[in-house]
Amino acid sequence: MIKQIYQRLFDHYGPQHWWPAQERFEILVGAILTQNTNWQNVERALHSLSLASCTTPEQIVSCPDQDLAAHIRSSGYFNVKARRLKAFCSWLLEQGGLAVLDTRDTGDLRAELLSVHGIGPETADDMLLYAFERPVFVIDAYTRRIFSRVGLVEEKINYEDLQCFFEDSLDADVGMFNEYHALIVRHGKEVCRTSPRCDTCVLKDLCAFRAGVEGPDRP
């Protein structure tokens, strides 16, 4: 069923070409900036960082807090995210850079990322999948919403359990994990929002909701 849903989303939306960034470090920065934030606002912040020549770990750690916060202003939570960016960049530098981290075991790397201030499970997994190209399935609010709505998992399922649900059901394929998560976000943005609009949904027949009619076991 999980593979069939992937096929349907892919057939309907096509390839999403994620992560929308050019350099690996930009992916890592974007993963922090996009926390609970629209990607369009993140792009402005990334552009602003670029204009300010604040595009390397060294430049970010040496940038005054006030200035860094100003550069990423458009991405929201700018004081919080400025501190998180600095924490991540100083960690990255003390680890010896990306090339060193590339040699690390995926499980160890994930645990170390989670130990950095401001990096939680989703941000860590974004980094692991899209920047380190490890076969880790990214979970987000859309994933939980879509897959509980089609009745495959409980609505309150926790992050790790939902992640295992995907990773146990699918081949560990980085390219497919990349596309699947991107498709879930795309689908979530277009159709499956907080209030169901299943009339135009590709997963219409699977969803507990129907257009204008509630499912029998749903409030």
Partner DNA sequence: ACCCAGGGTCATA
Partner DNA sequence: TATGACCATGGG
Contacts to DNA by CB under 7 A: 18-20, 30-31, 34-41, 44, 69, 73-74, 76-81, 117-124, 126, 130, 140-142, 185, 188-189, 193-194
Residue type, 179: E
Rank residues 1 and 139 by Cβ distance to DNA and give the closer one.
139
Rank residues 216 and 219 by Cβ distance to DNA and give the closer one.
219
Q: How would you write the chain as a 3-class SS string? A: CHHHHHHHHHHHHCCCCCCCCCCHHHHHHHHHHCCCCCHHHHHHHHHHHHHCCCCCHHHHHHCCHHHHHHHCHHHCCHHHHHHHHHHHHHHHHHHCCHHHHCCCCHHHHHHHHHHCCCCCHHHHHHHHHHHCCCCCCCCCHHHHHHHHHCCCCCCCCCHHHHHHHHHHHCCCCHHHHHHHHHHHHHHHHHCCCCCCCHHHCCCCCCCCCECCECCCCCC
Q: How far is the CB of 163 from DNA (least distance, A)?
A: 12
Q: What tokens does 16 get? A: 């999403």
Rank residues 103 and 194 by Cβ distance to DNA and give the closer one.
194
Q: How far is the CB of 169 from DNA (least distance, A)?
A: 22
Q: How far is the CB of 87 from DNA (least distance, A)?
A: 9
| 85 backbone dihedrals φ, ψ, rounded to 5° | -60, -45
Rank residues 1 and 107 by Cβ distance to DNA and give the closer one.
107
Q: How far is the CB of 131 from DNA (least distance, A)?
A: 10
Interacting residues of 135 by C-beta distance below 8 A, sequence separation 6+: 106, 129, 167, 172, 173, 174, 177
Q: How far is the CB of 2 from DNA (least distance, A)?
A: 19
Rank residues 36 and 103 by Cβ distance to DNA and give the closer one.
36
Rank residues 54 and 69 by Cβ distance to DNA and give the closer one.
69
Q: How far is the CB of 40 from DNA (least distance, A)?
A: 6
Q: How far is the CB of 148 from DNA (least distance, A)?
A: 14
Rank residues 7 and 38 by Cβ distance to DNA and give the closer one.
38
